[in-house]
Chain A
Amino acid sequence: MSEQMQHAAVQEGETLLYRGLRIVCTFSAGLGGLTIFLASIVVAYSVMMRNLGLGGVRGDFELVELVCVTCASLFLPLCQLNKGHVMVDLFTLRLPQREQRRIDGIWTLCFAAVWALLCWRLTHGLSEMHEYGDKTMLLKASIWWAFVPAVFGTGLSAIVALITGLPMVSSAFRALEAR
């Protein structure tokens, strides 16, 4: 079965750590949403002016590109926290709940490793781009700026996946999850 894993509701007795993570991830997602929203307003304005023959906003094309990678990165941690990644559970429905949760925990820890690897490599990408000093054509925005939200988003996702994955794999880490 393909379905999004259940959106974790705010739970009673949630630890301070979890609540903190939820706030940071939601804030990150909201900020990402805000950038794409503001970009849509700028682009709509630009289109209107252009079609009225008054000339569009200079570099709106580049703005959209930068905003796209920014929101893609900032959206990640909340999706990781809510276990929003699509999976197929049709073939494991007969397993006991505890086993299903443990398997999901293993994959969540794999996610943590992959996000961490990606974050680490992106810091290299960031410093490379910083050295090259490439800028976009019209807005003169430095390309390395685009790496900053990417490093943040993948790094935070790695932390989220680690902290949510551990209690799923073993009850020894239950204290992370609930008071």
Chain B
Amino acid sequence: MDPFTIASSMVIILLLLIFVRMPIALGMGLVGAVGYSLLASPMALFAYFNTSWVDKFMSYEFAIVPLFILMGHVATRSGISSALFSTSNVWIGHLRGGLAMASVAGCAMFGSISGSSLATASTMARVALPEMRKAGYSGAISAGSLAAGGTLGILIPPSIVLIIYALLTEQNIVKLFLAATIPGILAVIGFFIAIAIYVRLFPNEAPTQPKAPLSVRLKSLGQIWHITLIFVVVLGGIYGGFFTPAEGASVGVVITLLVGFGTRKLNFRGLIDCLIDTAASSAMIFTIVFGADIFNVALALSRMPIEVADFFSGVAIAPIWILIAMIVFYLIMGCVMDSLSLILLTVPVFFPTVMALDFGLMPEQQAMWFGIITLVVVEMGLITPPVGMNLFVISSMAKDIPTSQIFRGATPFIIAEFCRIAILVSFPVLSFWLVDLVAN
């Protein structure tokens, strides 16, 4: 068999195995190992296994992942989320659909210290869902705004998926974080507009609230001192070049912990739980990264990614159509697979292809642009039926809201996301303007 046939068979067999419930990490590892043995030799595979686990994870860059996960878990248990929601609420709660907007704003702020969508959705839902229901908001708008708001956790830096993308494509993590800022703000604006239109179409689903007096509003700002502190020190320190992302995450862990202990929301027992939660969420990521590594090393041996890239750079199709085809592929697969697996599986093949295409951008700009678009598109899979994970998180917390209502509530946000993808694709500059600005 020629290498290209082996590589294509690997991809097909892997997809089949994944569809029959094989854990994705195991599938990539097993198929990759068989491919590796065929393309090189079983002895070469054994030699590779001698050190690959340690080589891969004895890494300063990779340590960012468990550190940010730990910081997120500590933040989740520090009672920060309730202050975020109540402050957003007194500022914008009186608008039509204001409580839903406050939930989105709270998610955005929580997302600026957490890199996980599921954690953001569940943490904010615990606070905001009862408040919205009490104020007479419908199940659809309450659940939809929280599920959509949760996706901001992954988009607004720090973002675990973006870190993995940076490691896969050897891009600068700090620049990618900066690049994600404007698309993140666009997401918040898009969600606000979606809520505003929805509550005008269905006014009885979101009764208006009284406006809080200015003194209460100003006073409420004092409540969010902790998140401001964490955000300014951690991300300010990283962007300002005072420390590396790993150092920023370490500092973040310590400050968040001090906040948790200081506000008496976190105790020693809670800290132990944070450590074990961190183990559970990181181990899944470590395993899948390791499996993907074997798979991608085997693919690289077959030279398939390079050949695919050569092929597409030679065909007479406008580059934009190839990018759109990739986006459509991501949208479909995103309905079925989780974002991290999808990125680990596709980026090693898609990235060289995209980089071989001419969009009239600098290579680094193109890499950031593609990274942001990929992130936004796969993250949309979190709120699209049939298997949007954020919808399930909300559903498990709000047993009284039927699933059909939750799906209906997600619809305006999915439309908003489509608009945002179109904007980001049409105006690449949005994905690297801030980086260029800071660099100059």
Contact = CB atoms under 8 A, between A and B. Distances in A.
B26 A110 contact: yes
Nearest to A61: B60
22 contacts: A2-B389, A40-B253, A43-B247, A43-B250, A44-B254, A51-B243, A68-B59, A71-B279, A72-B283, A74-B279, A78-B280, A79-B279, A84-B283, A88-B18, A91-B19, A107-B21, A114-B33, A118-B53, A122-B50, A125-B49, A125-B51, A128-B50
Interface string A13-56: 00000000000001001101110110111111011100100000
Contacts of A163: none
Given A61-B60, A71-B66, A88-B18, A2 B341 contact: yes
B278 interface: yes
Interface in B233-289: 237, 242-243, 246-247, 249-251, 253-254, 271-272, 274-276, 278-280, 282-284, 286-288
Interface string A79-94: 1001011111111100
A11 B338 CA distance: 29
Nearest to B23: A85
Interface of B is mostly: helix
A107 B70 contact: no
A36 B23 contact: no
B63 A64 contact: yes
Given A29-B280, A44-B251, A85-B23, A36 B66 contact: yes
B433 interface: no
Contacts of B253: 37, 40-41, 44
B23 A107 contact: yes
B46 interface: yes
A42 B58 CA distance: 18
Given A39-B250, A47-B250, A85-B23, A68 B63 contact: yes
B60 A65 contact: yes
B53 A107 contact: no
A154 interface: yes
B21 A75 contact: no
Given A68-B57, A90-B336, A3 B66 contact: no
Contacts of B46: 121, 124
A93 B95 CA distance: 43
Given A64-B246, A71-B279, A86 B30 contact: no
Interface centre among A36, A61, A88, A89 (most CB of B within 10 A): A88
Contacts, number: 211
A76 interface: yes
Contacts of A125: 49-51, 54
Contacts of B59: 65, 68-69
A29 to B, nearest CB: 3
B386 A85 contact: no
B33 to A, nearest CB: 8
B305 interface: no
A73 interface: yes
Contacts of A88: 18-19, 21, 24, 336-337
Interface residues of A, number: 68
B60 A41 contact: no
A124 B337 CA distance: 36
A87 B340 CA distance: 12
A72 to B, nearest CB: 4
B312 interface: no
Contact of B275 (A5, A33, A42): A33
A87 B22 contact: yes
A75 B283 contact: yes
Nearest to A43: B250
Contact of A107 (B19, B22, B254, B340): B22
Contacts of B338: 2-3, 86
Nearest to B279: A29
B128 interface: no
Contact of A111 (B19, B26, B66, B392): B26
Contacts of A75: 66, 279-280, 282-283, 286
B75 to A, nearest CB: 14
Contacts of B389: 2-3
Contacts of A43: 246-247, 250-251
Given A75-B279, A125-B51, A87 B30 contact: no
Contacts of B387: 1-3, 90
A2 B33 CA distance: 23
A91 to B, nearest CB: 5
B54 A84 contact: no
